[in-house]
Amino acid sequence: MTSLLSLHTSTRQSDSFSNRILADFENQFFDLHPQTVKVSRFLGDIPHLDFDAQQAGRVDSEKHDERLRSAFALANELTDELLSASALVIATPMYNWGPPSSLKAWIDRVINTRTFYQSTDQLADLPVSVIISSGGLYSEGENTKHDFLRPWLLECFSRIGVRDLTFINCDPAGPMEYGRIDPSSSESGLSKALRQVPEAAKRARS
């Protein structure tokens, strides 16, 4: 059974722009890939690495003793979900010019000896779509130099062998949040992002 790994981070539930775009992405994805199941995670549930977990991720799993095996259990499960997915979609806000700590916590678990220290092409054909909502406009124009989220994601995913990463940009979200622009108008950040979804949602590996 193939899967869409769907990760979300916003705590704003139905007010969240990234969550709204994610719902649209999922609908379109499952229309096009009906045999696929959804594996969904709210990344706020993932704890930051403690000492044992960070050690475990850096020691080959064949060399794990009982302590490291148990400390690696969550990372192992998240890595299985990543490696077996036919597509990955992440919905995230920008927080303080970078990722929310919950997204960092997921990345800190999945970059481990099973992914980073590998020379295989196991993730080369995995399509990754990242929906980003930010108050200001960071995907184009003057502010791109203050955007540490997209460059950081590109670095992390390329380091584990991902070759197909696309961003769906919901920005600027501020004018919608503060009622200065109607989210349904064609010039809104939300409408811009929704127009990017059909192309991104087509992609899946077999």
Ligand X SMILES: Cc1cc2nc3c(=O)[nH]c(=O)nc-3n(C[C@H](O)[C@H](O)[C@H](O)COP(=O)(O)O)c2cc1C
**Phi then psi dihedrals of residue 170, to 5 deg:** -105, 85
Query: Which one, 113 or 169, has the nearer CB to ligand X?
Result: 169
93 binds ligand X (CB under 6 A): yes
Structure tokens at 55: 């050690």
Of 30, 95, 116, 152, which one interacts with ligand X (CB under 6 A)?
95
- Distance CA(130)–CA(167), nearest Å, equals 5
Strands 37-42 and 164-170, by their bridges, are: unpaired
Under rule CB under 6 A, which residues in 98-127 are in contact with ligand X? none
133 binds ligand X (CB under 6 A): yes
What residues pair up with 93 in beta bridges, in sequence order? 133
Query: Which one, 95 or 116, has the nearer CB to ligand X?
Result: 95
Smallest separation (angstroms) from ligand X to the CB of 131: 8
Query: Taking CB under 6 A as the rule, which mask of x and - marks residues 2-21 in contact with ligand X?
Result: --------x-x---xxxx--
Of 88, 94, 111, 156, which one interacts with ligand X (CB under 6 A)?
94
The label of the residue with tokens 């919950």 reads: 102
- Distance CA(43)–CA(6), nearest Å, equals 10
Give the list of residues 6+ apart from residue 179 with CB closer than 8 angstroms, or none.
none
- Distance CA(161)–CA(11), nearest Å, equals 30
Smallest separation (angstroms) from ligand X to the CB of 195: 17
140 binds ligand X (CB under 6 A): no
Under rule CB under 6 A, which residues in 142-201 are in contact with ligand X? 173, 177
Binding site for ligand X (CB under 6 A): 10, 12, 16-19, 93-97, 133-136, 173, 177
